[in-house]
Amino acid sequence: MEIRNYINGHFIDSLSKKNIEVKNPANQNVVGFIDEALDEEIDLAFAAAKNAFEKRVLQDMDAAHKSKIMRLIADKLREYKNSSSIILSQENGKTIKQCEGEFDGAANVFDYYAGLTDKIENKLIPSGKDSFNYTILEPYGVSLQIVPWNYPIALFARSVAVSLVVGNTIVIKPPELCPISSNIFGKIFSEVQMPNGILNIVHGYGDKTGKKLVDHKSVNQIVFTGSPEVASEILKKTADRIIPCHLELGGKSAAIIYPDANIDQAVESTVKGIFKPNAGQICVAMSRAIVHHKVKDEYITKLNQKTKELNIGPGNDEKSDVTPLISKEQLQRVTNYCHSGVQSGANLITGGKQQEIHNGNFFKPTIFDNVDINSTIAREEIFGPVISIFNFENEEEAIKIVNSTDYGLASGVFTSDDQKAKWTADRIEAGVIWHNDWFVDGVNLPGGGYKKSGYGRDGGIDSLYSYGQTKRVSKRLN
């Protein structure tokens, strides 16, 4: 796999002469190195993207041809899925099967948006006999995209694919903790003969390369997926330049489990929502369960039983259910949160500490009950396999708890009563609400945050309007 930066259609030799060591979270073995982009590489990447934008390479490209190239990208992602998933699993920690799923998902995103290239129908707005008005969805220009480490391939695909449709050219920074597998996109873009300069991949640490990218004078839009703290810093740094920012941030997603719910289904969804995929390191993880007092004992007993059956292990073992946390820092962070949970008086039912395996960053799936809604573990994003359980007596109380954090990314409601589900969904402050399961998703479905979980939408047709701006053309007819 390439370890260089991909600029203007080529992997280029390092100008900074610096690189970043990438470690396997399951054992700390060195997976490889990636070249670090500093001032010169960053300038080259923006110059290439700016040039491609100014030449209107994407905007003037025949829509059917663009669609064909995007479908080829999808095909190539499937072709390289197996080999790339091994690297992704080594640098990220997820199981190889999950990594393959991530590549499949990325391919589906390119296929879906390939189908939209010739279907953006702008508006002709009637306003009487004296004028003629129409709109065009236009790109912003050079889109800077910054990606986190938990789903680097899926998140790369979702913002790049829609940018191609709308016509933005791209400078993208993969996450420093697992950057290597993202370089497959450079190889693929060259192989499908995407014109040079449209995609530029630069690697580096957030507080160095990331900051320099945000400060660059050629940025016209920023797509940031990551923590609210960094998002807030980016907003402050771009305020004077009035740069539009599209922000996909953290979450503290909660499921409300009503007494008429199928508890076995709710338990299955909980295991899937917080423990199994990527050890809970998911922005939309089910990190809270708000359970009616009549069914709480049954839910906790069954959840505890299922949790004990989970295998904790590395991503290259197909039997592993709970894979490692991304880094030692993340392991310490999750451990600290669990200590604070115990100190706040929450009842630790299981887990709460590291699982020692081969110097890996493994953490035991953890269940806290009787959590105080004002405590730190109730309010902050832990980003690990830790769930907090709350008790409720009536619907209003459940809604109060679900909306009690600063976040509003996803939520769930478990009930056999559709009217109650609708009543609940109408009152939850979150961009996505799932009913009777978790992760009911698809490339054609929009998602995004309320409150500190960000703004702008990814997925589906809505996404086009988060990556572009409407221009109106009005002609006086007499």
Give contact residues for ligand NAD (rule: CB under 6 A).
Answer: 146-151, 155, 173, 175-176, 206-207, 210-211, 214, 225-227, 230, 233-234, 248-251, 283, 381, 383, 409, 449, 454
Q: How far is the CB of 323 from ligand NAD (least distance, A)?
A: 16
The CB-of-151 to ligand NAD minimum distance in angstroms stands at 6
- From the list 41, 102, 248, 381, the catalytic residue is 248
Marked catalytic residue, from 283, 393, 395, 397: 283
Find out whether 403 and 424 touch, Cβ atoms under 8 Å.
Answer: no
Angle at 434 between CA 231 and CA 108, to 5 degrees: 70
| Nearest-angstrom CA–CA distance, 91 and 361 | 12
> Based on CB atoms, which residue is closest to ligand NAD, 175 or 365?
175
> Which residue number has the CB closest to ligand NAD?
206
| Cβ partners under 8 Å of residue 417, min gap 6 | 258, 260
248 among known catalytic residues: yes
Indicate the DSSP class of residue 149: S
CA 429 to chain centre: 19
Backbone angles phi, psi at 422, to 5 degrees: -65, -45
Maximum distance among all alpha carbons in the chain?
Answer: 79
Comparing CB distances to ligand NAD, the nearer of 270 and 330 is: 330
Cβ proximity to ligand NAD: between 1 and 247 the closer is 247
Q: Where does residue 428 rank: exposed (0-12), middle (13-18), buried (19+ CB within 10 A)? A: buried
Task: Output the smallest distance, CB 422 to ligand NAD, in A.
Answer: 25
DSSP code string of 395-450: HHHHHHHHT-SSEESEEEEE-S-HHHHHHHHHH--SSEEEESSS----TTS-B--E
Closer residue to ligand NAD (CB): 35 or 369: 35
A 10 A CB-CB count for 294 gives: 11
Min separation Cβ 225 and ligand NAD, Å? 5
Q: Pick between residue 277 and residue 449 the one whose CB is nearest to ligand NAD.
A: 449
Mark residue 370 as left, alpha or beta (left: phi above 0; alpha: psi -120 to 50; beta: remaining). left
The smaller minimum CB distance to ligand NAD, of residues 216 and 306, is found at 216
Give me the least distance between CB of 99 and ligand NAD, in Å please.
16
Of residues 383 and 392, the one with the C-beta less far from ligand NAD: 383
What is the chain's alpha carbon radius of gyration, rounded to the nearest angstrom?
Answer: 23
Between CA 34 and CA 2 the distance in angstroms is 8
Shortest Å, Cβ 282 to ligand NAD: 7
Tell me the closest approach of the beta carbon of residue 336 to ligand NAD, in angstroms: 15
Compare residues 7 and 282 and give the one whose CB is closer to ligand NAD: 282
Give, for 231, the enclosing helix (H) or strand (E).
Answer: helix 228-238
Which token pair is 97? 């099967």
- DSSP 8-state code for residue 467: S
Measured between alpha carbons, how far is residue 457 from residues 83, 189, 247, 257, 469 in Å? 31, 25, 9, 27, 14
Active site residue 233: no
Minimal distance, residue 41 CB to ligand NAD, in Å: 15
| Per-residue buried b or exposed e for 215-241, using 16+ beta carbons within 10 Å of the residue's own CB | ebebbbbbbbbbbbebbebbeeebeee
Helix/strand/coil for 278: helix
Token reading at 58? 């994407």
| Catalytic (active-site) positions | 248, 283
